[in-house]
Amino acid sequence: MTLFSRLFGKTTKKKELKARCPITREQIDRGFGYLLTTAEVVTSRKYWDMVMTEPETMSYTISHFRNEEHGTRMRSLIFEKYSSIPHPWIISDTCINLFEGIDRERAKRFAQLWWEQEGEFVPENSGPALEMLDPKSYQDWKDYAILEAGRSRISA
């Protein structure tokens, strides 16, 4: 403690790191979760099927599959919003099953490093998906998210 902090009773307390899953908004306890890059998140069919059929987005999905331009445009904006996130995602145990083909052990280790480094750890290949995926792969995932995601959940 410095002389001034002793005299005036002020101590600098470091703010405790907290995390919420960006998908469910549930609190993630310190030391838990999985750390994924945006590219890993947006390359999941299950993730896009879930996003495009949530209560807040279902009307756009219904409109899109009725060939209404507004629904397709909104789905495009949703894709752009999520695919352009520059920082890694701390994902809860509840949501990790949405992501096929990821190395779970690696994602768990990265989450541990993220916690240890007070949220400062950033895995390689983090950044917006457009910058991290090859152009064809990015376009394929964009097409799936906008044009196909949720189709099986819409009754004809």
Q: Are 107 and 84 in contact (CB under 8 A)?
A: no
pLDDT at residue 5, rounded to an integer: 54
pLDDT at residue 13, rounded to an integer: 58
CA distance 99 to 80: 19
Q: Where are the domains of the chain?
A: 20-153
pLDDT at residue 77, rounded to an integer: 98
pLDDT at residue 153, rounded to an integer: 86
Print pLDDT tens along the chain (156 aa).
Answer: 554 455 555 555 567 899 999 999 999 999 999 999 999 999 999 999 999 999 999 999 999 999 999 999 999 999 999 999 999 999 999 999 999 899 999 999 999 999 999 999 999 999 999 999 999 999 999 999 999 999 998 865
The distance of Cα 99 from the centroid of its chain, to the nearest Å, equals: 11
Pairing of strands 34-36, 27-28: unpaired
CA distance 75 to 99: 20
CA distance 60 to 39: 24
pLDDT at residue 85, rounded to an integer: 97
